[in-house]
């Protein structure tokens, strides 16, 4: 079959890398893709939210499976667009309906879903400009630190964690009255702070059945020791060493099962990934967020460990028969280190020549922000290239990634050298 992957980051290069290995895949397209996907698939210059252009591409190339990488097209309803079009309705779309995508598109929607299904999460209340003063009073009932979340999508920047009550009140005002995050912060969720260690769990569901993919932990801050600004992610480790069987059992029965059952019970059409962000408080996992897609760079660490044919898994998602597959996982650990452009996550330059990729042999090179310019691979984003290695434990895997990263060069290249420091 012919398959289309939507997106242009390291996550999408990883999807393409796995799909290209499948005997079930004839032709592979990526829109818009990057220099990495260009080497293993056909890149097409179509934006991920340009549904009419995607439709033309799918019909022209006889594509029968579409794998949606990022959240934007899902929140805008790409799955419904396919389901409601006579010419597209038989195409398998890996990604939930617009309703299901609200689990990521609205923090308040996610909170209500969690509470309806009795899934452990932080206590919360939500506020709009109309009751901003009540919001400030609510803050006074909590202890520091204060967690403020813009309700809508804010490119990963919509969460503020503040130590000082006066600052928290000021930021609440900024979000609600001055629209700090635009329409995304017209509503704000104020949440109880959860003190513990974070991990993420990835689930692939057909709406009835599911498989749980390997866990991962990402490193969001730009600076070593988890300091400085938040980024899209500076690296990831899979599995998370502290996620033992006892914890995974709790996650499965208290969180994953009720989530999938809740979607089914509410007749929410959901065929795709659920990325569950968790904080382990004491021995108890609690949900801090849902994402309706895979993580980036978590995908670069998780998918290389999945031995089962990815296209086969997606086909089972399409015909709701995920209960009939046995998921095979590589027992080794994966460590992904992300190289970024100097200055990221603030202003940075693009178009820098990248060298050394060919010299890397015992790690996998996943392109994120790259493109081909006059036959040369150049930087084209903040996060540039991710290096993933597999080895018997995460420390060995990290060592391999760090050795190989030394071979890579571009002007003002930066990466964190301390991943795993907290484990």
With CB under 5 to 8 Å by kind, the binding choice for 241 among ligand AMP, ligand GLY, none is none
How far is CA 2 from each of CA 34, 210, 271, rounded to the nearest angstrom? 19, 24, 19
Strands 146-150 and 187-191: antiparallel
The sign of the CA dihedral 137, 170, 127, 147 is: negative
Q: Return d(Cα 19, Cα 419) in angstroms, integer.
A: 28
Among 170, 116, 130, 133, CA closest to 148: 170
Query: Contact between 171 and ligand AMP (CB under 6 A)?
Result: no
How far is CA 9 from each of CA 17, 68, 115, 372, 385, rounded to the nearest angstrom? 12, 12, 33, 14, 9
Nearest distance, CB of residue 208 and ligand GLY, angstroms = 26
Smaller CB separation from ligand AMP, 194 or 408: 194
Nearest distance, CB of residue 244 and ligand GLY, angstroms = 23
CB 111 within 8 A of CB 149: no
Among 162, 164, 170, CA closest to 191: 162
CB 233 within 8 A of CB 338: yes
Smaller CB separation from ligand AMP, 197 or 325: 197
Smaller CB separation from ligand AMP, 3 or 110: 110
With CB under 5 to 8 Å by kind, the binding choice for 288 among ligand GLY, ligand AMP, none is ligand AMP
Fill in the DSSP letter of residue 193: P
Smaller CB separation from ligand AMP, 255 or 279: 279
Query: Contact between 226 and ligand AMP (CB under 6 A)?
Result: no
Among 247, 257, 258, CA closest to 217: 247
With CB under 5 to 8 Å by kind, the binding choice for 198 among ligand AMP, ligand GLY, none is ligand AMP
**Contacts (Cβ under 8 Å, ≥6 apart) of 349:** 341, 342, 343, 379, 411, 412
Nearest distance, CB of residue 85 and ligand GLY, angstroms = 29
With CB under 5 to 8 Å by kind, the binding choice for 99 among ligand AMP, ligand GLY, none is none
How far is CA 129 from each of CA 107, 185, 246, rounded to the nearest angstrom? 17, 10, 43
Query: Contact between 288 and ligand AMP (CB under 6 A)?
Result: yes
Options 71-79, 176-184, 193-201, 255-263: segment touching ligand AMP (CB under 6 A): 193-201
Query: Contact between 159 and ligand AMP (CB under 6 A)?
Result: yes
Among 198, 252, 269, 418, binds ligand AMP (CB under 6 A): 198
Query: Contact between 402 and ligand AMP (CB under 6 A)?
Result: no
Strands 284-291 and 272-281: antiparallel
Q: Return d(Cα 126, Cα 304) in angstroms, integer.
A: 39
Nearest distance, CB of residue 49 and ligand GLY, angstroms = 18
Query: Contact between 289 and ligand AMP (CB under 6 A)?
Result: yes
With CB under 5 to 8 Å by kind, the binding choice for 159 among ligand GLY, ligand AMP, none is ligand AMP
Options 131-139, 188-196, 293-301, 318-326: segment touching ligand AMP (CB under 6 A): 188-196
Query: Is-cis flag, bond preceding 263, omega within 30?
Result: no
Binding site for ligand GLY (CB under 6 A): 156, 218, 232-233, 291, 295-296, 298
Query: Contact between 194 and ligand AMP (CB under 6 A)?
Result: yes
Among 12, 171, 191, 391, binds ligand AMP (CB under 6 A): 191
Nearest distance, CB of residue 158 and ligand AMP, angstroms = 7
Q: Radius of gyration of the chain from Cα atoms?
A: 21
Residues, the chain, total? 423
Name the residues that contact ligand AMP, by CB under 6 A.
122, 147, 149, 159, 161, 191, 193-194, 198, 277, 279, 288-289
């Amino acid at each position: 079959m012919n398959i289309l992957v939507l997106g242009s980051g390291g996550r999408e290069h990883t999807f393409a890398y796995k799909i290209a290995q499948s005997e079930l895949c004839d032709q592979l397209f990526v829109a818009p893709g990057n220099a990495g996907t260009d080497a293993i698939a056909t890149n097409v210059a179509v934006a991920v939210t340009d549904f009419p252009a995607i439709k033309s591409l799918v019909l022209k190339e006889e594509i029968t499976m579409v794998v949606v990488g990022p959240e934007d097209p899902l929140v805008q309803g790409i799955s419904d667009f396919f389901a409601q079009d006579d010419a597209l309705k038989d195409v398998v779309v890996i990604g939930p309906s617009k309703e299901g995508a609200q689990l990521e598109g609205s923090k308040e929607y996610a909170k209500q879903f969690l509470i309806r299904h009795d899934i452990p999460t932080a206590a919360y209340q939500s506020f709009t400009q109309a009751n901003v003063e009540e919001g400030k009073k609510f803050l006074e009932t909590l202890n520091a630190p204060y967690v403020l979340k813009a309700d809508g999508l804010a490119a990963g920047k919509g969460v503020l964690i503040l130590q000082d009550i006066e600052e928290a009140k000021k930021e609440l005002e900024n979000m609600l009255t001055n629209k700090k995050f635009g329409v995304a912060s017209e509503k704000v969720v104020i949440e109880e702070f959860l003190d513990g260690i974070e991990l993420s769990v990835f689930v692939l569901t057909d709406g009835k059945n599911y498989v749980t993919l390997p866990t991962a932990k990402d490193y969001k801050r730009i600076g070593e020791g988890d300091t400085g600004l938040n980024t899209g992610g500076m690296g990831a480790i899979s599995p998370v060493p502290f996620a033992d069987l006892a914890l995974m059992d709790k996650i499965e029965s208290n969180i994953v099962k009720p989530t999938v059952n809740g979607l089914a019970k509410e007749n929410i059409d959901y065929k795709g990934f659920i990325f569950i962000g968790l904080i382990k408080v004491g021995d108890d996992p609690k949900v801090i967020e849902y994402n309706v897609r895979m993580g980036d760079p978590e995908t670069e660490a998780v998918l290389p460990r999945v031995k089962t044919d990815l296209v086969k898994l997606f086909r089972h998602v399409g015909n709701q028969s995920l209960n009939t597959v046995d998921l095979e996982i590589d027992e080794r650990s994966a460590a992904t280190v992300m190289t970024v452009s100097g200055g990221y996550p603030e202003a940075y330059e693009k178009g820098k020549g990248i060298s050394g990729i060919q010299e890397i042999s015992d790690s996998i090179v996943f392109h994120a922000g790259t493109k081909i310019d006059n036959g040369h691979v150049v930087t084209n984003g903040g996060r540039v290239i991710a290096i993933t290695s597999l080895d018997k434990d995460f420390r060995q895997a990290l060592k391999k990634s760090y050795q190989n990263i030394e071979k890579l060069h571009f002007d003002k290249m930066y990466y964190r050298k301390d991943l795993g420091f907290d484990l």
